[in-house]
């Protein structure tokens, strides 16, 4: 039987979960596994916490801590539908770090991973709250920019490029001065058109 203290404990845990004090997409998505539920009446919370952990882990790229391809595809589908329904502009930036293979070959995968993490941080800090950055895999990244026209998407791409060039670690020495960014915008038809 659950007493008053146990009930308050349950409410506190649920509030932490709802307020994302335990889970956060911006920080590491792992729960502190030292956490234990000692009351049999609260064992269902442990199961809920594990389910939430699995859900978060399945949506976040482990290395860069930004959304992964699966979560991106789901969000893109919803964003396109919302854009069409409300007749609002929508752009998609597809960013590929050129010569990234050379980084791994010349400096090793640890350095390559550091470059990817650094680049993901630049994207996260440059994007607006409503933008949705994600890692496709390897050195490919996407950014969904709702309510953004082509000029706004180009401005975002330029800001990211400038931040990369002016970053504290010399990222350009790893992969040169070149990177590609294709910007797609939703047209009246249901498909995207590629714009450079």
DSSP state at residue 74:
H
Would you mind telling me the total number of residues written for the chain in this entry?
196
- Distance in angstroms (rounded) separating the CA atoms of residues 173 and 176: 6
Q: What is the pLDDT of residues 147-190, one digit of tens each?
A: 999 999 999 999 999 998 888 665 455 445 445 555 565 555 44
Q: For residues 68 and 134, what is the distance between their CA atoms, to the nearest angstrom?
A: 6
**Class of the CATH domain delimited by 69-195:** alpha beta
User: What three-state secondary structure class fits 30?
Assistant: coil
> Higher confidence at residue 51 or residue 69?
69
Active site residues: 139
pLDDT at 102: 87
Pick the range with the lowest mean pLDDT from 29-43, 53-67, 89-103, 172-186: 29-43
Annotated domain spans of the chain: 4-59, 69-195
pLDDT, average across residues 69-97: 95
Report how far apart the first and last C-alpha atoms of the chain are (Å, whole number): 64
């Amino acid at each position: 039987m659950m007493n008053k203290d146990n009930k308050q404990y349950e409410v506190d845990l649920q509030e932490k979960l709802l307020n994302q004090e335990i889970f956060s997409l911006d920080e590491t998505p792992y729960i502190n596994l030292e956490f234990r539920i000692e009351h049999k009446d609260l064992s269902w919370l442990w199961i809920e916490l594990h389910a939430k952990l699995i859900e978060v882990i399945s949506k976040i790229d482990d290395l860069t801590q930004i959304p992964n391809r699966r979560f991106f595809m789901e969000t893109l589908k919803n964003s396109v539908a919302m854009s069409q329904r409300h007749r609002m502009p929508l752009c998609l930036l597809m960013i590929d770090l050129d010569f990234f293979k050379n980084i791994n070959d010349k400096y090793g995968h640890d350095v390559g991973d550091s470059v990817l993490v650094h680049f993901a941080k630049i994207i996260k800090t440059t994007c607006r709250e409503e933008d949705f950055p994600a890692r496709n895999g390897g050195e490919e990244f996407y950014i969904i920019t709702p309510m953004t026209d082509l000029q706004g998407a180009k401005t975002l791409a330029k800001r990211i490029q400038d931040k990369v060039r002016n970053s504290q670690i010399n990222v350009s020495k790893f992969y040169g001065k070149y990177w590609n960014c294709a910007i797609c915008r939703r047209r009246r038809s249901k498909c995207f058109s590629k714009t450079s």
